[in-house]
Amino acid sequence: MKRMLFTVVGAIGLLVGCIGDDTIVGGDNEEQGEAIEKVVGTEVINLGFSGPLSGAAAFYGQNAASGLTMAINEINEAGGFEVDGQMYSFNLVTLDDQYLPNETGANARRLVQEYDTPIVYVPHSGGIFATQVFNEQEDFIIGAYSSEPDITAQGNELTLRIPPTYDKYVGPFSKYQLERFGPKLSMLPTNTQYGLDWAEELTPVWEGLGGEVVYEGTVDYSKDTDFFTLVTNALRDDPDVMFVGGASEPTSQVMQQARELGFEGGFLVMDQAKLDEMELVLGDQADVIEGSVGVTPLSADVHDGNEAFVNDYFEEHDRNPGSEAGYHYLSVYMLAEAMKAAGTVDDTAGIRANLNEGLNNIPEDKLIYPLTEVSDDGGLGTELRMAVVEDGEIKVVEMNE
Protein backbone atom coordinates (compact mmCIF):
# COMPACT_ATOMS: atom_id res chain seq x y z
CA MET A 1 0.00 0.00 0.00
CA LYS A 2 1.48 3.34 -1.03
CA ARG A 3 1.34 5.88 1.79
CA MET A 4 0.97 9.61 1.30
CA LEU A 5 3.99 11.38 2.83
CA PHE A 6 4.30 15.09 3.57
CA THR A 7 7.56 17.00 3.24
CA VAL A 8 8.36 19.69 5.75
CA VAL A 9 10.17 22.53 3.97
CA GLY A 10 11.27 25.69 5.73
CA ALA A 11 8.56 28.00 6.97
CA ILE A 12 5.77 26.18 5.17
CA GLY A 13 6.10 23.25 7.55
CA LEU A 14 3.36 20.87 8.51
CA LEU A 15 0.03 22.58 9.01
CA VAL A 16 -1.46 21.31 12.18
CA GLY A 17 -4.71 22.08 13.93
CA CYS A 18 -7.84 20.75 15.49
CA ILE A 19 -10.65 19.65 13.21
CA GLY A 20 -13.88 18.61 14.92
CA ASP A 21 -13.00 15.86 17.37
CA ASP A 22 -9.57 15.28 15.81
CA THR A 23 -6.39 16.29 17.49
CA ILE A 24 -3.58 16.60 15.01
CA VAL A 25 -0.73 16.85 17.44
CA GLY A 26 2.03 19.04 16.13
CA GLY A 27 2.91 22.44 14.74
CA ASP A 28 1.81 25.63 16.47
CA ASN A 29 -1.68 24.74 17.68
CA GLU A 30 -1.48 23.32 21.21
CA GLU A 31 -5.14 23.76 22.12
CA GLN A 32 -5.45 20.00 22.44
CA GLY A 33 -2.61 17.56 22.97
CA GLU A 34 1.10 18.34 22.92
CA ALA A 35 3.04 19.96 20.09
CA ILE A 36 5.20 17.82 17.83
CA GLU A 37 8.60 19.09 16.70
CA LYS A 38 8.81 19.65 12.95
CA VAL A 39 11.90 18.56 11.04
CA VAL A 40 12.92 20.55 7.98
CA GLY A 41 13.67 18.50 4.88
CA THR A 42 12.08 15.22 6.01
CA GLU A 43 9.09 13.30 4.79
CA VAL A 44 6.50 13.01 7.56
CA ILE A 45 4.88 9.74 8.58
CA ASN A 46 1.60 10.12 10.47
CA LEU A 47 1.08 7.73 13.37
CA GLY A 48 -2.53 7.22 14.49
CA PHE A 49 -4.02 6.94 17.96
CA SER A 50 -7.62 6.15 18.94
CA GLY A 51 -8.29 6.07 22.65
CA PRO A 52 -10.28 7.62 25.49
CA LEU A 53 -9.33 11.30 25.63
CA SER A 54 -12.51 12.33 27.45
CA GLY A 55 -14.73 10.72 30.06
CA ALA A 56 -13.76 8.54 33.02
CA ALA A 57 -10.77 6.93 31.28
CA ALA A 58 -9.37 10.17 29.83
CA PHE A 59 -6.35 10.15 32.16
CA TYR A 60 -5.48 6.66 30.94
CA GLY A 61 -5.75 7.60 27.27
CA GLN A 62 -3.81 10.82 27.72
CA ASN A 63 -1.01 8.94 29.48
CA ALA A 64 -0.70 6.55 26.55
CA ALA A 65 -0.62 9.38 24.01
CA SER A 66 1.95 11.30 26.06
CA GLY A 67 4.48 8.48 25.65
CA LEU A 68 4.03 8.53 21.87
CA THR A 69 4.44 12.30 21.78
CA MET A 70 7.59 12.27 23.86
CA ALA A 71 9.32 9.63 21.72
CA ILE A 72 8.28 11.34 18.49
CA ASN A 73 9.66 14.66 19.69
CA GLU A 74 12.98 13.10 20.68
CA ILE A 75 13.35 11.38 17.32
CA ASN A 76 12.39 14.54 15.44
CA GLU A 77 14.65 16.78 17.53
CA ALA A 78 17.52 14.45 16.62
CA GLY A 79 16.82 15.13 12.92
CA GLY A 80 14.56 12.18 12.19
CA PHE A 81 15.71 8.81 10.90
CA GLU A 82 16.91 7.43 7.58
CA VAL A 83 15.26 4.64 5.63
CA ASP A 84 16.66 3.58 2.26
CA GLY A 85 18.45 6.91 1.74
CA GLN A 86 15.49 9.14 2.67
CA MET A 87 15.10 11.08 5.93
CA TYR A 88 11.78 10.75 7.75
CA SER A 89 10.11 12.20 10.83
CA PHE A 90 6.92 11.32 12.69
CA ASN A 91 3.69 13.16 13.42
CA LEU A 92 0.87 12.01 15.69
CA VAL A 93 -2.85 12.21 14.91
CA THR A 94 -5.14 11.39 17.83
CA LEU A 95 -8.90 10.76 17.85
CA ASP A 96 -11.09 10.38 20.93
CA ASP A 97 -13.13 7.15 21.00
CA GLN A 98 -14.42 7.58 24.58
CA TYR A 99 -13.50 3.93 25.23
CA LEU A 100 -16.23 2.77 22.82
CA PRO A 101 -15.23 -0.03 20.41
CA ASN A 102 -17.54 1.12 17.61
CA GLU A 103 -15.96 4.57 17.76
CA THR A 104 -12.51 2.98 17.65
CA GLY A 105 -13.30 1.17 14.42
CA ALA A 106 -14.60 4.35 12.80
CA ASN A 107 -11.59 6.31 14.01
CA ALA A 108 -9.12 3.74 12.72
CA ARG A 109 -10.66 3.84 9.25
CA ARG A 110 -10.56 7.62 9.28
CA LEU A 111 -6.93 7.70 10.37
CA VAL A 112 -5.88 5.37 7.59
CA GLN A 113 -8.02 6.95 4.87
CA GLU A 114 -7.38 10.60 5.71
CA TYR A 115 -3.90 10.54 7.24
CA ASP A 116 -2.31 7.42 5.68
CA THR A 117 -1.22 6.04 9.03
CA PRO A 118 0.76 2.77 8.75
CA ILE A 119 -0.04 2.07 12.41
CA VAL A 120 -2.97 2.94 14.66
CA TYR A 121 -2.44 2.68 18.41
CA VAL A 122 -5.46 1.47 20.41
CA PRO A 123 -5.19 1.20 24.22
CA HIS A 124 -8.22 -0.97 25.03
CA SER A 125 -9.18 -4.52 24.11
CA GLY A 126 -12.71 -3.78 22.86
CA GLY A 127 -11.39 -1.28 20.35
CA ILE A 128 -8.57 -3.61 19.36
CA PHE A 129 -10.92 -6.50 18.62
CA ALA A 130 -13.21 -4.19 16.64
CA THR A 131 -10.27 -2.99 14.57
CA GLN A 132 -8.82 -6.47 14.00
CA VAL A 133 -11.92 -7.24 11.91
CA PHE A 134 -10.60 -5.13 9.02
CA ASN A 135 -7.03 -3.91 9.63
CA GLU A 136 -5.39 -6.62 7.49
CA GLN A 137 -7.69 -5.83 4.57
CA GLU A 138 -7.10 -2.09 4.94
CA ASP A 139 -3.37 -2.60 5.44
CA PHE A 140 -2.37 -1.03 8.75
CA ILE A 141 -0.72 -2.30 11.90
CA ILE A 142 -2.59 -2.16 15.20
CA GLY A 143 -0.41 -0.99 18.09
CA ALA A 144 -2.48 -2.93 20.62
CA TYR A 145 -2.02 -1.74 24.18
CA SER A 146 -3.89 -4.37 26.14
CA SER A 147 -2.81 -7.41 28.13
CA GLU A 148 -5.75 -9.48 26.82
CA PRO A 149 -4.24 -12.83 25.66
CA ASP A 150 -6.86 -13.34 22.94
CA ILE A 151 -5.51 -10.36 20.99
CA THR A 152 -2.56 -12.35 19.71
CA ALA A 153 -4.60 -15.57 19.54
CA GLN A 154 -6.58 -14.13 16.62
CA GLY A 155 -3.83 -14.91 14.11
CA ASN A 156 -3.89 -11.29 12.91
CA GLU A 157 -0.60 -10.74 11.09
CA LEU A 158 -0.68 -6.96 11.42
CA THR A 159 -1.08 -6.72 15.20
CA LEU A 160 1.58 -5.79 17.74
CA ARG A 161 0.50 -6.50 21.33
CA ILE A 162 2.59 -4.16 23.43
CA PRO A 163 2.23 -5.10 27.15
CA PRO A 164 2.60 -8.62 28.58
CA THR A 165 -0.59 -10.68 28.94
CA TYR A 166 -2.46 -10.50 32.24
CA ASP A 167 -2.73 -14.28 32.67
CA LYS A 168 0.90 -14.28 33.82
CA TYR A 169 -0.02 -12.10 36.82
CA VAL A 170 -3.07 -13.99 38.07
CA GLY A 171 -1.27 -16.79 39.94
CA PRO A 172 1.37 -14.69 41.75
CA PHE A 173 -1.15 -11.95 42.64
CA SER A 174 -3.58 -14.53 44.05
CA LYS A 175 -0.96 -16.42 46.03
CA TYR A 176 0.31 -13.22 47.65
CA GLN A 177 -3.14 -11.98 48.69
CA LEU A 178 -4.36 -15.37 49.93
CA GLU A 179 -1.31 -15.72 52.15
CA ARG A 180 -1.45 -12.15 53.44
CA PHE A 181 -5.18 -11.58 53.92
CA GLY A 182 -7.22 -14.78 53.59
CA PRO A 183 -9.41 -16.84 51.25
CA LYS A 184 -12.61 -14.82 50.71
CA LEU A 185 -12.58 -12.82 47.46
CA SER A 186 -15.08 -10.21 46.30
CA MET A 187 -14.97 -9.25 42.61
CA LEU A 188 -15.74 -5.73 41.41
CA PRO A 189 -13.77 -5.08 38.20
CA THR A 190 -14.68 -2.90 35.23
CA ASN A 191 -17.55 -4.32 33.15
CA THR A 192 -15.56 -4.18 29.90
CA GLN A 193 -14.80 -7.43 28.09
CA TYR A 194 -11.26 -7.09 29.38
CA GLY A 195 -12.49 -6.92 32.97
CA LEU A 196 -14.83 -9.88 32.48
CA ASP A 197 -12.03 -11.94 30.93
CA TRP A 198 -9.70 -11.08 33.83
CA ALA A 199 -12.37 -12.24 36.29
CA GLU A 200 -12.93 -15.45 34.35
CA GLU A 201 -9.19 -16.17 34.45
CA LEU A 202 -8.90 -15.31 38.14
CA THR A 203 -11.78 -17.39 39.53
CA PRO A 204 -10.40 -20.92 38.94
CA VAL A 205 -6.90 -19.88 40.00
CA TRP A 206 -8.18 -18.37 43.26
CA GLU A 207 -10.33 -21.41 43.99
CA GLY A 208 -7.52 -23.78 43.03
CA LEU A 209 -5.35 -22.17 45.71
CA GLY A 210 -8.03 -22.86 48.31
CA GLY A 211 -9.88 -19.56 48.10
CA GLU A 212 -13.59 -18.78 47.77
CA VAL A 213 -15.30 -16.19 45.57
CA VAL A 214 -18.03 -14.66 47.74
CA TYR A 215 -19.26 -11.92 45.39
CA GLU A 216 -19.21 -11.32 41.64
CA GLY A 217 -20.07 -7.84 40.36
CA THR A 218 -18.81 -5.22 37.93
CA VAL A 219 -18.57 -1.44 37.58
CA ASP A 220 -19.54 0.49 34.46
CA TYR A 221 -17.08 3.38 34.64
CA SER A 222 -18.67 5.05 31.64
CA LYS A 223 -21.92 5.47 33.62
CA ASP A 224 -21.36 4.85 37.33
CA THR A 225 -20.07 7.81 39.33
CA ASP A 226 -21.47 6.96 42.77
CA PHE A 227 -19.97 3.67 43.94
CA PHE A 228 -21.62 3.46 47.38
CA THR A 229 -24.26 0.84 46.54
CA LEU A 230 -21.94 -1.24 44.36
CA VAL A 231 -19.22 -1.38 46.99
CA THR A 232 -21.71 -1.99 49.82
CA ASN A 233 -22.95 -5.07 47.98
CA ALA A 234 -19.40 -6.23 47.30
CA LEU A 235 -18.59 -6.08 51.04
CA ARG A 236 -21.76 -7.83 52.15
CA ASP A 237 -20.07 -11.17 52.89
CA ASP A 238 -17.05 -9.68 54.66
CA PRO A 239 -14.35 -10.50 52.06
CA ASP A 240 -10.64 -10.66 52.84
CA VAL A 241 -9.62 -9.41 49.40
CA MET A 242 -11.29 -7.27 46.73
CA PHE A 243 -10.54 -7.70 43.04
CA VAL A 244 -10.77 -4.27 41.42
CA GLY A 245 -9.56 -2.58 38.27
CA GLY A 246 -10.03 -0.45 35.23
CA ALA A 247 -8.49 2.95 34.65
CA SER A 248 -6.49 4.20 37.64
CA GLU A 249 -8.60 7.20 38.61
CA PRO A 250 -12.04 5.55 38.98
CA THR A 251 -10.49 2.38 40.40
CA SER A 252 -8.90 4.42 43.18
CA GLN A 253 -12.34 5.91 43.94
CA VAL A 254 -13.83 2.43 44.32
CA MET A 255 -11.02 1.47 46.69
CA GLN A 256 -11.48 4.66 48.67
CA GLN A 257 -15.21 3.95 49.00
CA ALA A 258 -14.41 0.45 50.27
CA ARG A 259 -12.12 1.85 52.96
CA GLU A 260 -14.76 4.39 53.99
CA LEU A 261 -17.21 1.51 54.40
CA GLY A 262 -14.81 -0.28 56.74
CA PHE A 263 -12.95 -2.70 54.44
CA GLU A 264 -9.56 -3.54 55.97
CA GLY A 265 -8.42 -6.29 53.59
CA GLY A 266 -6.25 -6.33 50.49
CA PHE A 267 -6.83 -5.26 46.91
CA LEU A 268 -5.93 -7.45 43.95
CA VAL A 269 -5.59 -4.84 41.22
CA MET A 270 -5.98 -5.50 37.50
CA ASP A 271 -2.95 -4.49 35.47
CA GLN A 272 -4.69 -1.52 33.82
CA ALA A 273 -4.80 0.39 37.11
CA LYS A 274 -1.39 1.50 38.38
CA LEU A 275 -0.45 1.79 42.04
CA ASP A 276 1.60 4.97 41.68
CA GLU A 277 -1.11 6.68 39.61
CA MET A 278 -3.74 5.80 42.20
CA GLU A 279 -1.45 7.06 44.95
CA LEU A 280 -1.22 10.37 43.08
CA VAL A 281 -5.00 10.58 42.58
CA LEU A 282 -5.68 9.85 46.25
CA GLY A 283 -3.23 12.47 47.53
CA ASP A 284 -3.27 12.68 51.33
CA GLN A 285 -5.47 9.56 51.44
CA ALA A 286 -2.95 7.38 49.65
CA ASP A 287 -3.00 4.91 52.55
CA VAL A 288 -6.12 3.55 50.84
CA ILE A 289 -3.89 1.37 48.64
CA GLU A 290 -2.13 -0.30 51.57
CA GLY A 291 -2.34 -4.05 51.11
CA SER A 292 -2.57 -3.90 47.32
CA VAL A 293 -0.83 -6.05 44.74
CA GLY A 294 -0.49 -4.92 41.15
CA VAL A 295 1.88 -4.42 38.27
CA THR A 296 5.20 -2.72 38.91
CA PRO A 297 5.10 1.05 38.44
CA LEU A 298 7.81 2.39 36.17
CA SER A 299 8.87 4.92 38.80
CA ALA A 300 9.53 2.08 41.27
CA ASP A 301 11.85 0.24 38.89
CA VAL A 302 14.32 2.84 37.62
CA HIS A 303 17.43 1.53 35.84
CA ASP A 304 19.92 2.65 33.17
CA GLY A 305 17.47 1.95 30.36
CA ASN A 306 14.70 4.18 31.70
CA GLU A 307 16.31 6.67 34.08
CA ALA A 308 16.55 9.47 31.50
CA PHE A 309 12.97 8.85 30.36
CA VAL A 310 11.59 8.93 33.91
CA ASN A 311 13.45 12.15 34.72
CA ASP A 312 12.59 13.86 31.43
CA TYR A 313 8.94 12.86 31.69
CA PHE A 314 8.69 14.21 35.22
CA GLU A 315 10.29 17.47 34.16
CA GLU A 316 7.84 17.85 31.28
CA HIS A 317 4.63 16.65 32.99
CA ASP A 318 5.33 17.22 36.70
CA ARG A 319 4.44 13.61 37.48
CA ASN A 320 6.05 10.21 37.14
CA PRO A 321 5.33 8.26 33.95
CA GLY A 322 3.08 5.22 34.06
CA SER A 323 3.55 2.07 32.03
CA GLU A 324 1.13 3.38 29.39
CA ALA A 325 3.53 6.22 28.68
CA GLY A 326 6.60 4.00 28.96
CA TYR A 327 5.47 1.21 26.67
CA HIS A 328 4.11 3.59 24.03
CA TYR A 329 7.34 5.59 24.15
CA LEU A 330 9.43 2.47 23.62
CA SER A 331 7.19 1.25 20.80
CA VAL A 332 7.91 4.35 18.68
CA TYR A 333 11.64 3.68 18.83
CA MET A 334 10.99 0.04 17.96
CA LEU A 335 8.82 1.12 15.02
CA ALA A 336 11.50 3.46 13.66
CA GLU A 337 14.13 0.74 13.94
CA ALA A 338 11.80 -1.80 12.29
CA MET A 339 11.28 0.59 9.36
CA LYS A 340 15.04 0.95 9.02
CA ALA A 341 15.51 -2.83 9.08
CA ALA A 342 12.69 -3.38 6.59
CA GLY A 343 13.92 -0.63 4.29
CA THR A 344 10.38 0.73 3.99
CA VAL A 345 7.93 3.05 5.73
CA ASP A 346 4.78 1.91 3.92
CA ASP A 347 5.03 -1.88 3.51
CA THR A 348 3.17 -2.81 6.69
CA ALA A 349 3.86 -6.54 6.38
CA GLY A 350 7.56 -5.81 5.97
CA ILE A 351 7.57 -3.51 8.99
CA ARG A 352 5.67 -6.05 11.10
CA ALA A 353 8.11 -8.79 10.07
CA ASN A 354 11.03 -6.66 11.27
CA LEU A 355 9.66 -5.59 14.65
CA ASN A 356 11.85 -8.11 16.46
CA GLU A 357 14.90 -6.69 14.69
CA GLY A 358 13.63 -3.24 15.62
CA LEU A 359 13.41 -4.27 19.27
CA ASN A 360 16.97 -5.58 19.20
CA ASN A 361 18.20 -2.28 17.75
CA ILE A 362 16.59 0.07 20.27
CA PRO A 363 19.30 2.20 21.93
CA GLU A 364 20.08 0.95 25.43
CA ASP A 365 19.05 4.22 27.06
CA LYS A 366 15.62 3.94 25.41
CA LEU A 367 14.93 0.35 26.52
CA ILE A 368 12.37 1.30 29.16
CA TYR A 369 11.51 -2.30 30.03
CA PRO A 370 13.59 -5.52 29.94
CA LEU A 371 11.93 -6.81 26.77
CA THR A 372 13.06 -10.12 25.34
CA GLU A 373 11.37 -10.54 21.95
CA VAL A 374 8.48 -9.91 19.61
CA SER A 375 6.95 -13.36 19.31
CA ASP A 376 5.70 -14.84 16.05
CA ASP A 377 2.13 -13.98 17.03
CA GLY A 378 3.04 -10.33 17.58
CA GLY A 379 3.33 -10.16 21.37
CA LEU A 380 6.11 -8.40 23.24
CA GLY A 381 7.86 -10.61 25.78
CA THR A 382 9.30 -9.18 28.99
CA GLU A 383 10.72 -10.17 32.34
CA LEU A 384 7.88 -9.86 34.83
CA ARG A 385 7.75 -8.58 38.38
CA MET A 386 4.92 -7.40 40.58
CA ALA A 387 4.50 -4.63 43.12
CA VAL A 388 2.97 -4.74 46.59
CA VAL A 389 2.13 -1.99 49.06
CA GLU A 390 3.48 -2.79 52.51
CA ASP A 391 3.81 -0.27 55.36
CA GLY A 392 2.95 2.59 53.02
CA GLU A 393 5.66 1.73 50.51
CA ILE A 394 5.38 0.34 46.98
CA LYS A 395 7.83 -2.56 46.83
CA VAL A 396 8.95 -4.56 43.80
CA VAL A 397 8.75 -8.33 44.20
CA GLU A 398 10.04 -11.04 41.88
CA MET A 399 7.18 -13.10 40.47
CA ASN A 400 8.67 -16.37 41.70
CA GLU A 401 8.90 -15.19 45.27
Distance CA 176, CA 91 (A): 43
pLDDT at 34: 67
CB-neighbour burial class of residue 98 (10 A; exposed 0-12, middle 13-18, buried 19+): middle
pLDDT at 225: 82
Q: What is the mean pLDDT of residues 57-84?
A: 95
**DSSP character string of 327-392:** HHHHHHHHHHHHHHHHT-SS-HHHHHHTHHHHHHTS-GGG--S-EEEE-TTSBEEE--EEEEEETT
pLDDT at 1: 46
Query: Is residue 164 pLDDT above 80, yes or no?
Result: yes
Distance CA 401, CA 397 (A): 7
Residue type, 314: F
pLDDT at 115: 97
**Average predicted confidence (pLDDT) for the chain:** 89
Q: pTM to 2 decimals? A: 0.82
Among 11-25, 82-96, 106-120, 222-236, the minimum mean pLDDT is found in: 11-25
φ/ψ of 267, rounded to 5, equals -115, 125
Element (H, E) at 47: strand 43-51
pLDDT at 35: 76
pLDDT at 18: 32
Distance CA 34, CA 82 (A): 25
Distance CA 212, CA 233 (A): 17
Among 56-60, 70-74, 232-236, 342-346, the minimum mean pLDDT is found in: 56-60
- 191-246 pLDDT tens trace: 988 899 999 999 999 999 999 999 999 999 888 888 999 999 999 999 999 999 99
**DSSP character string of 175-230:** HHHHHHT-SEEEEEEBSSHHHHHHHHHHHHHHHHTT-EEEEE--B-TTT----HHH
- 105-162 pLDDT tens trace: 999 999 999 999 999 999 999 999 999 999 999 999 999 999 999 999 999 999 999 9
DSSP 53: -
Query: Is residue 10 pLDDT above 60, yes or no?
Result: no
Distance CA 228, CA 222 (A): 16
Query: Is residue 85 pLDDT above 80, yes or no?
Result: yes
Q: What is the mean pLDDT of residues 289-305?
A: 90
Domains detected in the chain = 6-165+304-382 (3.40.50.2300), 167-298+385-398 (3.40.50.2300)
Entry field: residues in the chain: 401
